[in-house]
Amino acid sequence: MDKSINDFNVRLRTIRIRELILGIIISFILTGLLIGVFPEIYDNDDLMFVVLLSFVLIFFAWCLKGTTGLGNNFNKLFVKKTRNEILYVFLINILFAFLFTCIVTGIDLLIGFYDPSWVTGFDIDSVDVTAGTVLLNAIGAIIFAPLIEELVFRGVLFNRLKIRVGIVPAMLISSFLFGIGHDFGGITSAFLFGLCMCILYMKTDNILVPMSVHFINNITATLLELTQIDAFIGQFPWIIPATIITLVATVLLVKYIIQETKLLKKSYS
């Protein structure tokens, strides 16, 4: 990184991948040392996740220390055009995330209509939620994940890769790496979400924009998971409008990615 640069946006683009890897390694080491002092951390995956991300966030705070412009970035979030695009990208992504659930549930219901002996394979297990679990999940998934994942995958990986391989390959590679870090059923939605985050970041040169979408997405996903909305939309007749809505969102999502990518290629060619 170039510590001589005072602009927040420019300093972020100078953080190298090898520096990021070193920061993550040090974070793992410090987390391990802390576990040695407080073994109970190891017994709670959510707590260990929060501790690790805390050290990674400290690394980025050190990298970006002394820069200016973060406040200006924050103010730009409330510009009408930016605000509307944040909400639009969030909506088409969160609705697309339900596509797999709707398709599987729909097929399951159709088979059940024609074969009364059919035993559904799409059961929703109840979740035993405690206050501590909710708090740690909120801190990890809602607060730390949007901050760290955007800084890592868009702020560093995408920025550095686009210098070496170009914008589109950098979008694909960084989004693929982002996607494989998620559950198997969510890899596709995470990959497309990553592409959208790259687009927003390139259009605005403001890491807070994809962070905002990521934050809204994660808090919504967490609330939906806690309320088990899957069980509701998977019931007849709600599955029909839900499937239609997710299919429309899929078309809009693909259209957004293709159109915006073409505009970015044209702008930076």
Grouped pLDDT means (10 residues each) for the chain, 269 residues:
94 96 97 94 88 96 96 95 97 90 69 63 53 76 93 97 94 96 80 97 96 95 79 73 91 97 87
CB 178 within 8 A of CB 153: yes
**What pLDDT shows up at residue 227?**
78
**What pLDDT shows up at residue 115?**
64
**What pLDDT shows up at residue 23?**
97
**What pLDDT shows up at residue 100?**
76
How far apart (Å, rounded) are the C-alpha atoms in residues 146 and 216?
Answer: 9
**Where do the DSSP E strands lie in the chain?**
none
**What pLDDT shows up at residue 110?**
66
* DSSP class per residue in 139-187: IIIIIIHHHHHIIIIIIIIIHHHHHHH-HHHHHHHHHHHHHTTS-GGGH
Which one-letter DSSP state was computed for residue 121? S
